[in-house]
Structure 1
């Protein structure tokens, strides 16, 4: 089996965010043939502005984000939910990697989303936002990868059942067959 690289976009900027810790745990628990590349610096990426999305003007942080995602085989968002929506930093990252429309770094890449929140729903609305946005941007959404985990009654970083579901989601994303266009 060939090695698979998954670019990981963390939807929280907080240094000790549970979702960042979850992304790091998934990276450390990844199968030997899967590399999870946590893309840092999302907070440095300016809000998407088509006026600067032209050769020679694309901000360095946005260009680095696009390069990291373009180099990956798959994309995984690990995100909390803010006020019933995906965090602005994740939405902005998707905006940058989705351009140009249907030809950006996200186009045609299998995409999944996982995460946790201290609510009964575990971030379902944010995860639905991310799935919808990535799908519109041209990603191939892998439905079985979405895991919205409540952190109310379980330590998501140590619970073996939760970690098994999340690592299985990573495996499903890595194993997802990418359809190629007929010649």
Structure 2
């Protein structure tokens, strides 16, 4: 059985983030065959600047993110919801990943299998942020998992004080999402 490389990105910069904890839960509860690496550099990504968006001038941290995404078999995103939408830091990183103005590098997100999840303390969780992300990934022509949806509402009720996911329904949904992502990756690999 092949092991697929998954790059996991939390849209939250907060130290005690439930979204980052959700990615750690994904590492722990994954269905097997996935190597989930959590990206730690989102805070370092500078604001998108098209004048610098070319292989010669691009900031090194952005070049590294593009390399990691290109080398990954799939992406797992966990997003909070800010003002009914995507956190700015996450959207900014996606902007850096969505281009190839030089027509020489390829598009890191093109047909990339992506699973979206999210946690928030509100009654609607991250539903609107996830919808906004899905819209962005239509433009990048990414292969987004449609179901199951992991929209963790009242997230403070689902994690213990150590940041461990304890809610069995949430664990099952997360496992289903990861299984669907793995299926998309396997389908893409078989088509090559």
TM-score of the superposed pair, with normalisation by structure 2: 0.87
The alpha carbon displacement at 1:146 in A equals: 3.2
Q: Which residue of 1 aligns with 2:113?
A: 110
**SS in structure 1 at match of 2:94:** helix
Unaligned runs of 5+ in 2: 160-164
Query: 2:11 matched to which residue of 1?
Result: 11
CA contact (8 A) 2:4 2:33 kept: yes
Check 1:108–1:152 CA distance in 2 against 1; reply closer, same or farther (3 A cut). closer
| Residue 164 (1) aligns with residue 172 (2) | yes
1:40 corresponds to: 40
- Tell me how far apart the structure 2 counterparts of residues 152 and 100 of structure 1 sit (CA, whole Å): 37
Q: Which runs of 5+ in 1 are unaligned?
A: none
Worse-superposed segment, 146-155 or 159-168: 146-155
List structure 1 runs of 4+ shifted beyond 3 angstroms.
none
Q: Secondary structure at the match of 2:8?
A: strand
Deviation larger for 161-170 or 101-110: 101-110
CA distance in 1, matches of 2:123, 2:90: 22
RMSD of the TM alignment (CA)? 1.9
Change in Cα spacing, 1:153 to 1:59, as seen in structure 2 (3 Å) is: closer
Mean Cα deviation higher: 22-31 or 102-111:
102-111
- Return the offset for 1:31: 2.8
Residues 148 and 173, structure 2, Cα contact 8 Å, conserved in 1: no
Q: What residue number does 1:91 align with?
A: 91
Cα distance, 1:10 vs. partner? 0.6
